[in-house]
Structure 1
Amino acid sequence: MLAPQLPEIHIPDSPLAQQAIELIRDCESELLFLHSMRVYAWGALAGRRDGLVFDPELLLVGALFHDLGLVERFRGSTLRFEVDGANAARDFLVSHGVAGAEVDKVWAAIALHTTPGIPQFMHAEAALLHMATGMDVAGRAYDQFTDAERSAVTNAWPRGTDFNQAIIDTFYDGLRHRPDSTFGTFNDDFLAAKDPHFQRVDLCSMILQSPWAR
């Protein structure tokens, strides 16, 4: 696996890290795997730039597992895809003897990585994973990285010319069987964009039609 030519990006090479990389590379599409590696890189760069104290190994596992809930093996799940990924990461870490507090950090970071307004006030691994996923998918914090950093990361783990549409399609494929799980998140945007028959749940209507309104 090509490593970027930036000393600020250190890919952990412990047995746990290598097994996590191999597992996710086998389970995910190339698009999701490369996205996950870029997410780790953006997070590591931002963490070192901002002087945050974080565990690179935990951040790597969080980045690798954060979208695992979108893959074929979870097509029968009715949970939020973030929870599927968080549970899988927890099982992986527990099987490798990682302590409970560290496991909880990774679980929360993955489970909340699509929830705006909360992760940035949590531990560094959660804050960095949230920022880095937004950076890679939607370009949030794009200008906080230098041209050299962006080139190094995308040369090591290419986005490809069709990433923007492909990631939308990937989210849709992973969510269309469980539309109820997208309520209260921006994940319903993927369903609305791809399915003309999808109807968003309206909380105000739910309140006005609740048993309390009878």
Structure 2
Amino acid sequence: MTTEPRPTAALLDEVLAPPSSVAARALEAAAVVSSPALLAHSRRSAALAVDLGRREGLQFDHELLFVAAALHDVGLAAPFDSHAEPFERAGAEVARVFASGAGWSAERAQRLVDVIVRHMWPAVSADLDVEGHLLERATSLDVSGVGGDDWPVELLGALVGRLPRDGFGVEFGGLVSAQAHRKPGSEAARTIRAGMRVRIAANPLDRL
């Protein structure tokens, strides 16, 4: 007996859905301060990360991963944009406050901080941090088009159709460039020096 593959629309519904009430509230919190383009990026990143983890057979904390994806860029929002701290660190500390308010332990809240900070690393080993690994890979695809062959093209097309990119690349590139200018020692500055804006402009997801 063979198992029929799940329809793409049903799979997309599943990976986009918050796995808990806390995850749903994290998405609501992100929506308060994020632009529509940044919020859609967070939602696409969550779906990509969850789908990748499942297909690669990785054991991951779905709620932790989803909350991290929902809140990973809140440090770019004006109310939380630190003058000194890298945006991922500033956003991670906002996420820590959210997690504490949601009743998470200090250890679990620290894991959330770790995942958000590490998503800006050039790479994250799954052995070190499986949720950080999945979020880094998902955001790298959505921002710069890196690693697109790791996902089925049908899923990518359906995801972009459900959550259009609508100028995300231009907006995000401008925000990260501003971070790089103000914080030259940050990971944002490293990515800009490494050609992020060129990769953003060439992202194949914008042509799906």
Instruction: Assess, with a 3 A threshold, how the Cα gap between structure 1 residues 69 and 114 changes in structure 2: closer, same or farther.
Output: same
Whole-angstrom CA distance in 2 between matches of 1:24 and 1:184: 20
* 1:154-183 deviations in Å (ceiling 9; x for gaps): 1221112x332222012234454x324427
Whole-angstrom CA distance in 2 between matches of 1:16 and 1:54: 17
Matched, 1:85 2:87: no
Partner in structure 2 of residue 202 of structure 1: none
Q: 2:77 aligns with which of 66, 71, 74?
A: 71
Superposition pairs of residues 14-33 of structure 1, within 5 angstroms: 14-33=20-39
Q: Secondary structure at the match of 1:186?
A: helix
Let me know the Cα RMSD of the aligned residues: 2.6
Gaps of 5+ in 2: 1-8, 198-208
Question: In the comparison of the two structures, how many residue pairs are matched?
Answer: 189
Higher helix share: 2
Q: 2:11 aligns with which of 6, 14, 19?
A: 6
Q: Is the 8 A contact 2:27 2:70 kept in 1?
A: yes
Partner in structure 1 of residue 130 of structure 2: 124
Q: Secondary structure at the match of 1:132?
A: helix
Q: Is the 8 A contact 1:17 1:60 kept in 2?
A: yes
Q: Is the 8 A contact 2:86 2:187 kept in 1?
A: no
Q: Secondary structure at the match of 1:89?
A: helix
Q: Determine which structure has more spread, i.e. the larger CA radius of gyration.
A: 1
Matched, 1:186 2:175: no
Give me the TM-score of the superposition, normalised by structure 2. 0.80
Whole-angstrom CA distance in 2 between matches of 1:166 and 1:133: 15
Give me the TM-score of the superposition, normalised by structure 1. 0.78
Gaps of 5+ in 1: 194-214
* 1:49-93 deviations in Å (ceiling 9; x for gaps): 011111211111111111111111134431011101111111100
How many Å apart are 1:192 and its aligned residue? 10
Whole-angstrom CA distance in 2 between matches of 1:120 and 1:20: 24
Q: Secondary structure at the match of 2:39?
A: helix
Matched, 1:167 2:172: yes
Whole-angstrom CA distance in 1 between matches of 2:173 and 2:188: 18
Q: Is the 8 A contact 1:171 1:190 kept in 2?
A: no
Whole-angstrom CA distance in 1 between matches of 2:37 and 2:78: 14
User: Once the two structures are aligned, what percentage of the paired residues are identical?
Assistant: 29
Q: 1:43 aligns with which of 45, 49, 57?
A: 49
Which residue identity lines up with residue 189 of structure 1 in the other structure? R
How many Å apart are 1:117 and its aligned residue? 3.5
Partner in structure 2 of residue 142 of structure 1: 148
